[in-house]
Amino acid sequence: VKTVSELGEHRVVDSILAVLRKQAKPAIPFGDDVSAVKLDRGKLLILKTDTMVWDTDVPPGMTARQAGRKALVMNVSDLAAKGVKPLAAVVSLSIPSSTSIDEVLSIIKGLEDGAKEYGLEIIGGDTGEAPTIVLSISMAGIADKGTIILRSGAKVGDIVATTGPFGNTAAALAITLNGLEAPHMLKLKLLRSIYKPKARLREGLVLASLKAATSSIDSSDGLAWSLHELSRMSNVGFKITNVPIAPEAEAFARIHGLNPLNLALYGGEEYELVLTIKPELFDKAAASVRSVGGELIKMGVAISERRVIVDYQGKLHEVEAKGWEHFTSKHLPRN
Amino acid sequence: VKTVSELGEHRVVDSILAVLRKQAKPAIPFGDDVSAVKLDRGKLLILKTDTMVWDTDVPPGMTARQAGRKALVMNVSDLAAKGVKPLAAVVSLSIPSSTSIDEVLSIIKGLEDGAKEYGLEIIGGDTGEAPTIVLSISMAGIADKGTIILRSGAKVGDIVATTGPFGNTAAALAITLNGLEAPHMLKLKLLRSIYKPKARLREGLVLASLKAATSSIDSSDGLAWSLHELSRMSNVGFKITNVPIAPEAEAFARIHGLNPLNLALYGGEEYELVLTIKPELFDKAAASVRSVGGELIKMGVAISERRVIVDYQGKLHEVEAKGWEHFTSKHLPRN
């Protein structure tokens, strides 16, 4: 009998879904960023649950308040990717009995920070005991069936775009998990990317209301993985000609002789949206995203061949379908 | 600085709620069985989250499939107590990397068992790594504001009632946790109460549609605790003249020289509904509950004095506000 570490997270999930598919035909197919059940009048009830486990998911140096906030932001980001406004959240907090009440309340304040930032309410939850802190957030929203952006709608010729640069979180994890160093100001900027991530909620909402995006995913599993997910679920490929690498990640890569492209592709814990946009609506979409204070960066184009390739410094690279994998490794993917 | 074990679960929860109350005014006040946010047209979106932690919440001898099913039933029971039909659930499963895939799939099959029994769909979720198995279920439903049964509506003169007998779970926990013995058939029956609990969903739904119940709670924290919660939140007291003690619990108490009343009052992990019913509607309510295969057992009456007393074998006993407390003790309350 195999253990989950021998199988790896993605094959474990596939086995679970094989069981669940026999019993449920959810309104949004399994494997998208959020789940849904049909209500009347063309509405969907959207549900999302995501869990932060202190032992494995909280990088060294992150405060309890930042961790609480991040747990909430992770969930908002998934709704943002679908263009759904979060209405409310419930929280399940399991803690060791030796936890100080101050730490517990800091986590709750962090949750409130996130809830205030994204305009939703925390309406309830439960507590219990566990050997490490486990914080599960579940979030709900109501959406019109017609406006929700799935992972599966990309068409050949659509423009591949994203809402921000990549690479800083991979650099920050190399600092916190692998002990790499960086000059003080650079280090602060990089660490901020993992300690205080932002969800692209306003961006997701305007893109959904415009009906400009044909597919969308949040990049929490890394840019490479996200592109491959959109590719797999939309049955198209992508040719990427512009990977937006953050200048801080470039500087960090230079210092340590790392490949900045790899930092950008194979990181994770970023909460940008990776989308495909109807070409005729791209300029309008970009203007709308700018109007809410964001940016929409053109990365490439959807192609019929089912592969993900990147044109970087004059050379074509095959992008691998890898990202962070729980169970098999907690370390940074090698360069 | 105090730890959560020094404070105890209920004071930890009070501290958390003090923070949350500053930011949110949920449609159902904090501290009820479920949470809610207002939708349009007088509807409420109901959310519930509850977590099972293998280390502390799964009694010895329970299979993974039973544990998965029970995690789902726990949540259904909370919605049942409010008279709300569960529509869908999402599941967050955190597991040690050494867990076998068979155990994981057994948990999922148990979840499906519960979902089928109570007519809802599991529409999504997430997985991750943790030092022990942590299974969080979040469940949603839509309810009319007018039909939901809170903990706070009991009036003096209302009839206190419940949907089944008490005591078997306390006896079963004495067997599994404290090593007490019982004859084979009795033991099987008692253990069944903790391994295969039932939620009283049909009962809760008919009582809500009749508008017969003025307050309701599920008895998962024990009968005594549940009565005190209804008392506290409704600002009434209760005089109980009939504690329905299960015959198996009586037999078990006789064998071990235990007080059967204490088994019934201070157990927990039962999923009966404890309710107050308008006196003029009691007979109609009882008939409706019978029509869906259940029973509604009269226990006593709501009184103006804010205490919970029980008349047992010709003597009045003060019922203490205690039940299972996480953090401070994992053992059975002493007799």
Confidence check: pLDDT of A236 > 60:
yes
Residues 6+ apart with CB under 8 A from B331: B177, B178
- Banded model confidence at residue B134, pLDDT cuts 50, 70, 90: very high
Q: Measured between CB atoms, does B41 come within 8 Å of chain A?
A: no
pLDDT confidence band for A226 (50 / 70 / 90): very high
pLDDT, one tens digit per residue, over B28-77 is 999 999 999 999 999 999 999 999 999 988 989 999 999 999 999 999 99
Asked if B35 and A5 come within 8 Å (Cβ–Cβ), the reply is no
What proportions of chain A, in percent to the nearest 5, are helix, strand and coil?
40, 25, 35
- Interacting residues of A25 by C-beta distance below 8 A, sequence separation 6+: B121
Instruction: Tell me, rounded to whole angstroms, the distance of Cα B31 from its chain centroid.
Output: 13
Average pLDDT of chain A is 93
CB distance from A109 to chain B under 8 Å? yes
What's the pLDDT tens digit per position in A151-192? 999 999 999 999 999 999 999 999 998 899 999 999 999 999
Give the contacts of B209 (CB within 8 A, at least 6 positions apart).
B83, B147
Which residues fall within 8 angstroms of residue B314, CB to CB, at 6 or more apart? none
Residue found under tokens 């003080």: A184
Whether B212 and chain A come into contact, CB under 8 Å, resolves to: no
Indicate yes or no: CB of B19 within 8 angstroms of CB of A105: yes
Q: What angle do CA A146, A19, A234 make, to 5 degrees?
A: 40
3-state class of B211 per DSSP?
coil
CB A207 within 8 Å of CB A284: no
What's the CA gap between B124 and B136, in Å, rounded? Answer: 12
A308-312, strands of its sheet edge to edge? A213-218, A273-277, A159-162, A297-303, A237-240, A308-312, A315-318
Residue contact B131–A55, C-beta within 8 A: yes
Q: Are B9 and A124 within 8 A, CB to CB?
A: no
Q: With an 8 Å Cβ cutoff, is A102 touching chain B? A: yes
> How many other β-carbons are positioned within 10 Å of the β-carbon of residue B157?
13
Which residues share a beta bridge with A276?
A: A160, A215
φ, ψ of residue A188 in degrees (nearest 5): -60, -45
Q: Does B95 touch chain A (CB under 8 A)?
A: yes
- Give the separation between CA A14 and CA A12, rounded to whole angstroms: 5
pLDDT at B326 over 60: no
- Partners of A131 on chain B (C-beta within 8 Å) are 55, 131-132
Q: Residue B159's pLDDT is what?
A: 98
For A104-134, the pLDDT digits (tens) are 999 999 999 999 999 999 999 999 999 999 9
With beta carbons under 8 A apart, name residues in chain A contacting B55.
Answer: 129-131
The residues with which B310 forms a beta bridge, in sequence order, are: B240, B317
pLDDT at A328 > cutoff 80:
no
Q: For testing the chain B interface, which of A34, A97, A137, A151 should be mutated: the one with the most B CBs within 10 Å?
A: A97
Chain B interface, mutation test: which of A21, A138, A139, A329, most B Cβ atoms within 10 Å? A138
pLDDT of B241-296, one tens digit each? Answer: 999 999 999 999 999 999 999 999 999 889 999 999 999 999 999 999 999 999 99
C-alpha to C-alpha distance for A335 and A170, rounded to whole angstroms: 11
Phi-psi map region of A61: left, alpha, beta (phi>0 left; psi -120 to 50 alpha): left
| Residue A61 confidence (pLDDT) above 60 | yes
Instruction: Check residue A25 and give its pLDDT.
Output: 87
- B304: exposed, middle or buried (C-beta count within 10 Å: 0-12, 13-18, 19+)? exposed
Question: What chain A residue is nearest to B22 in terms of C-alpha separation?
Answer: A112
| CB of B305 closer than 8 Å to CB of B238 | no
Residue A9's pLDDT band, with cuts at 50, 70 and 90, is confident
pLDDT at site B319: 96
pLDDT of residue B229: 96
Residue B142, SS3 per DSSP: strand
Beta bridge partners of A187: none
Model confidence at A330: pLDDT above 60: no
Q: Give A75→chain B minimum CA distance, Å.
A: 11
